[in-house]
Copies of this chain bind each other. A is one copy, B any other.
C-alpha cells in the first residue's frame, strides 16, 4: 500500500455513491497518473442500459484516448475486485497497478492479473463491503441479472 492509496480509493467510493444516488449500482473507480486523477467513473448499467459500462470501463472511457506510455504510469482504483472484462481492459492497456476496496461481494480473476505482472492491492475496506452488500440485499434481481449462478 502506498501513501495516497486510501485517499484515491475514497474518491472511488464517492463515485460509487454518486452512481447509487442516480439509481445505479454502487461501484466506483478512478484512474490516477503521477498522483493526479485523470479519469473517474461508476457503473452505469441501469443509467445507460449498458452491459459494458462497469465502473472501471466508465473510468477508462472518461480518461479519454491516452497513449501507451501514459497508461504505464497509471494506477486504477476500484471499490470492487475487477471482473473478467475490466481485468482484460487493465491488461490491454498495460496498467501496472490496481488498488481495490474489497473482493468479498465479488472476486474477479485476480490471479490472472498477478500472473500477467499486475500489482494488485486489496485495501479490504468495510465501507466498500457494506455499501455493495446492502445494495445486493435490496436489489438481488438487478445484481444477478446477467451473472450465471448455476
**Given A86-B88, A146-B93, does the pair A61, B68 have CB atoms closer than 8 Å?**
no
How many Å lie between the Cα of A65 and that of B147 in the bound state? 12
User: Contact partner of A51 among B61, B94, B147, CB < 8 A?
Assistant: B61
Contact of A89 among B84, B145, B147 (CB under 8 A): B84
Whole-angstrom distance from the CB of A103 to the nearest CB of chain B? 16
Query: B66–A146 contact, CB under 8 A?
Result: yes
Instruction: Give every chain B residue within 8 A of A51 (Cβ-Cβ).
Output: 60-61, 63-66, 93
Chain B residues near A49: list those with CB within 8 A. Answer: 64-65
Q: How far is the CB of A27 from chain B (nearest CB, A)?
A: 14
Is A148 a contact of B52 with CB atoms below 8 Å? no
Q: How far does the Cβ of A45 sit from chain B's closest Cβ, in whole Å?
A: 7
**Which residues of B sit under 8 angstroms from A149, Cβ to Cβ?**
68
**Cross-interface CB contact of A72 among B60, B64, B88, B148, cutoff 8 Å:** B148
Q: Which residues of B contact A79 (CB under 8 A)?
A: none
Q: Which residues of A contact B (CB under 8 A)?
A: 45, 49-52, 57, 60-61, 63-69, 71-72, 83-89, 91-94, 112, 145-149
